[in-house]
Amino acid sequence: MNRILVVEDDYYLRRNLKEILIKNNFQVLTASSVGEAVRYVQTDEAIDLYLLDIWLPDGEGFEVCKEIRKRNHRPIIFLSVCEDEDAVVKGLNLGGDDYVVKPYRTKELLSRIRANLRKNESHRIGNLLKSNDLLVDRMQGLVKKQGEPVRLTPVELELLLKLMENAECIVDREQLMDCLSKDGYEGVEDNTLSVNMSRLRGKIGSEYIETVRGFGYRFVGKVHRGIYEE
């Protein structure tokens, strides 16, 4: 069952929208302000789609959109009144996927939601890497082991992706050092790579990463692409 965050400050619209979505087999979270919405974005990794009102009492839905895009690429649909054309364009440029004009027609809204969810899932298929109990979603930047989230730093994620994309082959230290360089490390020392690799092993399991002395590292195990999480 897909999980949706509705961000709408009008109590009656928020309540009605929640009822409509629940009747159509969606799980629904609601927020009435930027602050409340951002807290959900920062703490709930299981949200599949975001419905964002543009004008909120403590700011704009654009702020929520920016916060979402720092963390994932799941669908964002803006809810907008007809006169908000320029605002809608701004929202789409910030990473929004679609917009629905208020007052919206229920069937159209549901159709847009389902279309965006389908599109997101089709993109995910080519961005999933799976090896035994380890699952990596490149598009979302998410890693799970035995179904539980694993929190990696951007550098650790880059290293893991590099290894998994070259599974069962040796990736030399120079290639891996490049991952550190593009993530903001300046004057990278050889020890920096060893430290990050050690931390990565501790998080995903040492059985996945083999040290090939004098050369680099190797991801141990076959990696399957486009495998859905069970």
Q: Would strands 76-81 and 98-102 be described as parallel, antiparallel, or unpaired? A: parallel
Q: CB pairs under 8 A, 24+ apart, for 18-23?
A: 20/106, 20/109, 20/110, 21/113
Query: What fold is seen in the domain 128-225?
Result: Arc Repressor Mutant, subunit A (1.10.10)
Two domains, one topology: 3-125 and 128-225: no
Q: Domains of the chain: which residue ranges? A: 3-125, 128-225
pLDDT at residue 118 greater than cutoff 80: yes
Query: Rounded distance, CA 95 to CA 8, Å?
Result: 19
pLDDT at residue 70 greater than cutoff 70: yes
Q: What is the pLDDT of residue 124?
A: 62
- Please tell me whether residue 144 adopts helix, strand or coil conformation: strand
How far, CA to CA in Å, does 103 sit from each of 34, 58, 81, 180, 220?
21, 22, 7, 49, 54
Q: With bands split at pLDDT 50, 70 and 90, how would you rate the model's confidence at 154?
A: confident
Q: What is the pLDDT of residue 6?
A: 97
- Answer whether 0.85 is exceeded by the pTM: no
Residues facing 55 on adjacent strands: 60
Provide the CATH number for the domain formed by 3-125 in this structure: 3.40.50.2300
Q: Write the DSSP assignment of 58-83 as a string of letters.
A: TEEHHHHHHHHHHH----EEEEEETT
Q: With bands split at pLDDT 50, 70 and 90, how would you rate the model's confidence at 125?
A: low
Mean pLDDT lowest among 31-40, 103-112, 163-172, 180-189: 180-189
